[in-house]
Amino acid sequence: MRPGNIPPVEILTPLPVATSAGACFASDIRGTDRYIYYFVPTSTTAATFWRYDTYSNDWQQLAVPGTIGGNARFGAGCALVVDPSAGSGTGVIVGDVPNVWLFHPHAIAPFAQLQFYCISSNAWTTASQAGGAFDAAGLGGAQLTAQWAGDTAITHTCTALNSTVNDRYVYITGSNVANAGGVATVFYRYDLTTGTVAAMQVHAVAAGLGCTLAFIPQIPDRLYYQRGGATANWENYNIAANTWTNWGVTAPGTDTFTTGTALIGDASRGKFVTRASTTAGGQIKLLEMDPLITAAGRPELRPVGNGYLGDGTPHSGSLLAMANTGTSKYLYVARNTSTDFQRIWIVE
């Protein structure tokens, strides 16, 4: 952000349904897609799905995800990500438009599910059936033994973002997971080609509420992770080596993250933007971080804009998105437990 430039904030057409536990946004992190996708649970067994048109400032309702034998559970633990390359392989429709992936809890074993939404056909497909990818066989005996009950973070390394990455994988982590080991340090990789899940190197410290995970194409061999749980600690994941490095706290180290946190990668600028709602007075706070710029060896968080709208009661879910409109780039953010929706102009 250049000195003296204060990003203007605009109030937009309200959300069609108020946010609740598990509500989440997803957008193409290149910023080139005019649409932002919004998934919001309306009960534990029902949800609605929408897209926001950044050009017309209006909402359009889309097909709803399946309930998978009546055992889908919508609420805390849901996460959404756009796959700009549309993916390929088992059950995945290949096309010239992206898919949207949804992770959500399941009431019976294997307790976790993936579905994907094909934009061109306005239809959902279950990618991991009950007794499939998340069961004991698919996880090498480490089957989940309870629903994913906290925050979930999901990201995808796809060729539309960087031609050198492996397009096959979706990465998933989360908090409040009761698995075979009884810990919440689990980290999974879903293979779009084979439809199977692999348990990857666990986190050194358990994920907490507000945990986030993101990828930016300028650093294609890494994923970046914030633990949540009211901590300031960040980690980065070496994809090839399957190892985690603890970055420690950010500089200046005063910002902690918990319920209501969101993280997205800004593909055109090579930065991350994170949303926190735990500042004094319950205000939304937006911060950006360039992982290649550090202060005393630690990543440095800088304000993008904050205090412009009070937040509601925090709940799980990711309510931050990004899109270009003409020659301008904007962050789109929603209040917790509200229909309020606004955008903030990103100053280069």
| CATH code assigned at 141 | 2.120.10.80
Nearest CA among 323, 168, 291 for reference residue 219: 291
Q: Tell me if 269 is assigned to some domain.
A: yes
Question: What is the domain range of residue 272?
Answer: 20-322
Residue 282 main-chain phi, psi, to 5 deg: 70, 35
CA distances from 159 to 25, 98, 156, 186, 241 (A): 22, 12, 10, 26, 20
Q: What pLDDT does residue 178 have? A: 47
Q: Tell me if 338 is assigned to some domain.
A: no
Q: How far apart are the first and last CA of the chain?
A: 6
Q: Tell me if 133 is assigned to some domain.
A: yes
Give the residues across from 328 on adjacent strands: 325
Q: Tell me if 3 is assigned to some domain.
A: no
Q: How far apart are CA 121 and CA 63, in angstroms?
A: 10
CA torsion 93-99-105-107 (nearest 10°) is -40
With tokens 């430039």, the residue in question is 5
Q: Are 86 and 32 contacting, i.e. CB atoms less than 8 angstroms apart?
A: no
What is the model's pTM?
Answer: 0.89
With tokens 């306005």, the residue in question is 122
Number of domains in the chain: 1
Q: Tell me if 348 is assigned to some domain.
A: no
Q: What pLDDT does residue 59 have? A: 98
Q: What pLDDT does residue 13 have? A: 97
Q: Tell me if 332 is assigned to some domain.
A: no
The SS3 of residue 253 is: coil
Q: Tell me if 151 is assigned to some domain.
A: yes
Strand order in the sheet with 271-276: 262-266, 271-276, 283-295, 298-310
Q: Tell me if 14 is assigned to some domain.
A: no
Per-residue pLDDT of the chain (348 residues; tens, 9 = 90+): 444 556 678 899 999 999 999 999 998 877 677 899 999 999 989 999 999 999 999 999 999 998 887 888 898 889 999 887 764 433 344 444 568 989 888 877 777 888 889 888 899 988 764 445 565 555 555 556 667 777 888 888 776 666 666 667 889 888 755 444 444 677 888 887 777 788 888 887 778 888 888 888 777 788 888 888 888 888 889 999 999 988 777 777 678 888 888 888 877 676 778 887 655 556 788 888 887 776 666 777 887 755 456 677 888 888 888 887 767 788 899 988 899 999 988 765
Q: How far apart are CA 348 and CA 346, in angstroms?
A: 6
The most distant pair of C-alpha atoms in the chain lies apart, rounded to whole Å, by: 57
Q: Centre a 10 Å sphere on the Cβ of residue 122 and count the other Cβ atoms it contains.
A: 10
